[in-house]
A and B are shown apart, each in its own frame.
Chain A
């Protein structure tokens, strides 16, 4: 397969699936089939991208053959490929799970087209190499998530959606303003080009102001310390399948953007920006876990845990060493798998008793022993008990912290993981261990009766649990992948060289000189290697022609 085709497939496949399932608007069965096929195809294309990036390091596609920084660039480096791969995985498990849990009315109103639209936005955000395109992909993702959040129109959903919509729109406005100011300062929006220009920007103050604007914009999406209130207010309101995909993916898009911005663009004033990130990371961890401890409903506890774990991901970014950043990447891999899974398991418990309140449920250990084992493994993984995936993720981060002698954050991280264990034990003791309350609505609805539904409910959970256990047992290879991604992130030059192979020509003064020279004499100062030559303006590689042959 052509490697440039692989970059666009994770965006094109959900788009095509969405369009086709819109055509099948009238038939619920057809939409389910199309939705599942689309998810499998997305997963396959994400895996192919992952494989190709592992071979080629960075794959760049200049859309429409306009060379960067003039055109739209799609870039897949190791981090992007990992994220797209995880998105495909979450999508696959959630689609299968939703076959049993999403009611026909919601499918009727377009559930399947919407989750594919959401995935298109998510994959686009992971793959784009241009700030304004990042904004557009964010909005694609947001509008799909707004509708998914309100689909069904229940009281809680609408109330949660108002907060979610308002705060996300504020962060979008901040992001847009930041884009305007960064364009005014540098005259470009291509991330690779920005990386070059911000490095030699004369006024360091303006760069720091820009960094803060982007921190607010991405931080709101990622739900970091002072900006996370929309998350626990809204994530527990929609149906479980929607909650799970939100919990797994949406905040991680914010984290991904933060990692991209603070490894590629804003690395001039590390003492200020990354220390601030470290402070935010610590506060995010602590507030999130305290919030979780105060809750008594499964999905609310899990929502607050998302916040606290965002702190871990930021911790690695803030420490800014290869080891710590590899810890961040590992943590994201672990977290997306485990958190999606915990939401799916919580959904089954809620379905069983018709409520998510810990006081209304109990005795799951006797009535559903398999579910108990699956929950136990995921919860222990989230808390960081060896040999599950969470242990290695936390170990790497803490070793990164000890290496740089940031003992405060290490203490916070250890304490928070102890408290995580505590609140996971709370769910375990209340929902699984204690006897079911006398007046519990032991509604074992028809949903658990049919074999089809049982497969749809437990299949994804078993798959995700085995991935958690697998990551734990094969921590070496996963660590290697994360480390390679981290090293690539800390070496922005490879990214810049991949996107702008003709970098020297594009710097403004050179551009001017070249133009003057070409009018009088044949060019002499050009690099004669054919691959560079071919990407110069006017004679570009026929990328797409190749792709379609």
Chain B
């Protein structure tokens, strides 16, 4: 399972970086989305994968009986998903406005503010 997830993470990173290297702004944005998904999945995989054990301590015990799924990475991912969702929504509006104002979606054309 770990291997499959690790390969998926690698694939997502590769696809994300490939998309970001394209000239279209939309593809840049898709690439950023893939990149943040890759990071989330990386946290999930790195946090350790345990099948079907909830992190609940039974009554009368001071610690869980068997190995449990660590809830912290999931909490981290949840926060990160919300944040990246908000940021991507902003970026979508931004590229739409940019396209309206500049009339192009080609990153090579956006160099008026460069040095």
Question: Which B residues are in CB contact (< 8 Å) with A179?
Answer: 43, 76
Q: Is the CB of B115 within 8 A of A159?
A: no
Interface string of A213-249 (1 = CB under 8 A from B): 0000000000000000000111011000000000000
Partner-binding segment picked from A56-64, A180-188, A253-261: A180-188
Contact A176 B80 (CB under 8 A): yes
Q: Which residues of B contact A (CB under 8 A)?
A: 20, 25, 28, 32, 35-36, 38-40, 42-44, 46-48, 62-63, 72-73, 76, 79-80, 83-84, 86-87, 90-91, 94-95, 97-98, 101-102, 107, 110, 112-115
Q: Is the CB of B42 within 8 A of A166?
A: no
Which among B35, B91, B107 is the interface contact of A173 at CB below 8 angstroms? B35
- Return B38 CB to nearest CB of chain A, in Å: 7
* Interface hub of A132, A176, A294, A304 (most chain B Cβ within 10 A): A176
Q: Is A519 an interface residue (CB 8 A)?
A: yes
Per the 8 Å Cβ criterion, residues 407-421 of A in contact with B are: none
Chain A residues with Cβ below 8 Å from B90 are: 143, 146-147, 165
CB closest chain-A residue, reference B73: A183
Evaluate whether A180 and B39 lie within 8 angstroms (CB atoms) in the complex, with A159-B113, A233-B114 already known: yes
Q: What CA separation (Å) do A132 and B98 show in the bound complex?
A: 32
A116 to B91, CA, bound (A): 21
Q: Which of A301-319 contact B (CB under 8 A)?
A: 304
A-B residue pairs, 10 tightest by C-beta = A180-B43, A184-B46, A176-B39, A158-B98, A173-B35, A160-B113, A177-B39, A180-B46, A139-B83, A180-B42
Beta-carbon contacts of A491-517 to B below 8 Å, as 1s and 0s?
Answer: 000000000000000000000000100
A136 neighbours in B (Cβ, 8 Å): 79, 83
Residue numbers in A under 8 Å from B20 (CB-CB): 166, 170
Taking CB atoms, residues of chain A closer than 8 Å to B112 are: 155-156, 159
Can you show 11 pairs from A to B with CB atoms below 8 A apart? A143-B90, A150-B94, A150-B97, A173-B39, A179-B43, A180-B46, A180-B47, A183-B73, A184-B46, A184-B48, A519-B62
Chain A hits for B35, CB < 8 A? 169-170, 173
CB atoms of A132 and B32 under 8 A apart: no
**Chain A residues closer than 8 Å to B97, beta-carbon distance:** 150, 153, 158
What chain A residues lie within 8 Å of B83 (beta carbons)?
Answer: 136, 139
The answer, among A143, A150, A170, A233, for a CB contact under 8 Å with B113, is A233
- Note all chain B residues with C-beta closer than 8 A to A150: 94, 97
Tell me if A162 counts as interface (CB < 8 A to partner B): yes
In the assembled complex, how far is the CB of residue B42 from the closest CB belonging to chain A, in whole angstroms? 5
Residues of B within 8 A of A172 (CB): 36, 84, 87
A295 within 8 A of B: yes
Q: Is the CB of A155 within 8 A of B115?
A: no
Question: How many Å lie between the Cα of A146 and that of B83 in the bound state?
Answer: 14
Residues of A within 8 A of B43 (CB): 176-177, 179-180, 183
Which of these, B48, B73, B87, B95, contacts A162 with CB under 8 Å? Answer: B95
Contacts of B87 in A (CB 8 A): 139, 142-143, 146, 165, 169, 172
- Give A residues with C-beta under 8 Å from B: 132, 135-136, 139, 142-143, 146-147, 150, 153, 155-156, 158-163, 165-166, 169-170, 172-174, 176-177, 179-181, 183-184, 232-234, 236-237, 291, 294-295, 300, 304, 515, 518-519
Task: List the B residue with the shortest CB-CB distance to A169.
Answer: B32
Most-contacted residue by chain A among B36, B40, B83, B86 (CB, 10 A): B83
**Is there an interface contact between B39 and A169, defined as CB atoms closer than 8 Å?**
no
A177 and B42 form a contact (CB under 8 A): yes
Chain B positions within 8 Å of A169 at CB level: 32, 35-36, 87, 91
- Of chain A, the residue at the smallest CB distance from B46 is A184
Cross-chain contact A159 with B79 (CB below 8 angstroms): no
A181 / chain B contacts, CB cutoff of 8 Å: 42, 46
A316, B102: Cα distance in complex, Å = 43
Task: Kindly state the separation between the CA atoms of A146 and B39 in the bound complex, as whole angstroms.
Answer: 22
Chain B residue contacts of A161, Cβ below 8 A: 94, 98
- Inter-chain CA distance A295–B25, complex, in Å, is 27
A159 touches B98 (CB 8 A): yes
Say whether B76 contacts A183, CB under 8 Å.
yes
A181 to B84, CA, bound (A): 19
Q: Is the CB of B47 within 8 A of A155?
A: no
The interface residues of chain B lying within 8 Å CB-to-CB of A295 are 115
Chain A residues near B86: list those with CB within 8 A.
143
User: In the complex the two chains form, is A166's CB within 8 Å of B79's CB?
Assistant: no
Residues of A within 8 A of B91 (CB): 165-166, 169
- Given A132-B79, A161-B94, A177-B42: A291 and B115 interface contact (C-beta under 8 Å): yes
- Closest Cβ of chain A to B87, distance in Å, is 6
Q: How far apart sit A539 and B82, CA to CA, in the bound complex (Å)?
A: 34
Once the chains bind, are A176 and B36 in contact (CB under 8 Å)? yes
How far, in angstroms, from A169 to B86 measured CA to CA in the complex? 12
The answer to whether A146 and B98 have CB atoms under 8 Å apart is no
In the assembly, what is the distance between CA of A363 and CA of B36, in Å? 51
* Chain B residues with CB under 8 A of A160: 113
Given A132-B76, A300-B115: 18 more A-B contacts, CB < 8 Å: A142-B87, A155-B101, A156-B112, A158-B101, A161-B94, A162-B94, A165-B87, A166-B20, A170-B20, A172-B87, A173-B36, A173-B38, A177-B43, A180-B44, A183-B46, A183-B76, A237-B113, A295-B115
When chains A and B are docked, how far (Å) is the Cα of A174 from the Cα of B48? 20
For residue A286, give the distance in angstroms from its CB to the closest CB of chain B. 16
